[in-house]
């Protein structure tokens, strides 16, 4: 298995084509900033080049981000501590599933069919 692709370093002659995952977060600009600028989050949660950098302004933008605009902050490689993919589907709502035991205790609007609760409690 090959070593993971290392972004942010110069390449040697052994480098080959690859694909990478980059963590991104939607943020709001505290001031005008160009694509690729290294930024962090200020004490109000806005992206700012005056804060300790944690990533860069979306490098694929073709013009500057203006004050108050939302954009993707590309986080520095290797800095995230947990990873999950979030998706949606029409068959699922966005609230977390209720536990089976909460449903047994009658805390769900849609109750199991009559008799099933007693049977499950007996088991």
Instruction: Give the model confidence (pLDDT) of 23-57 as tens digits.
Output: 999 999 999 999 999 999 999 999 999 999 999 99
Its pTM surpasses 0.95:
no
pLDDT of res. 102 = 61
- The 3 state secondary structure assigned to 32-58 is CECCCCEEEECCCCCEECCCCCCEEEC
């Amino acid at each position: 298995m090959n070593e993971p692709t290392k972004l942010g370093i110069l390449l040697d002659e052994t480098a080959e084509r690859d694909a990478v995952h980059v963590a991104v977060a939607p943020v709001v600009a505290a001031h005008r900033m160009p694509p690729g600028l290294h930024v962090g989050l200020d004490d109000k949660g806005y992206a700012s080049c005056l804060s300790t950098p944690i990533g860069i302004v979306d490098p694929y933008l073709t013009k500057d981000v203006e004050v108050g605009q939302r954009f993707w902050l590309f986080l520095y490689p290797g800095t995230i501590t947990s990873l999950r993919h979030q998706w949606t589907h029409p068959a699922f709502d966005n609230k977390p599933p209720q536990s089976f035991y909460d449903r047994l205790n009658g805390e769900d609007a849609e109750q199991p069919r009559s008799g099933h609760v007693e049977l499950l409690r007996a088991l």
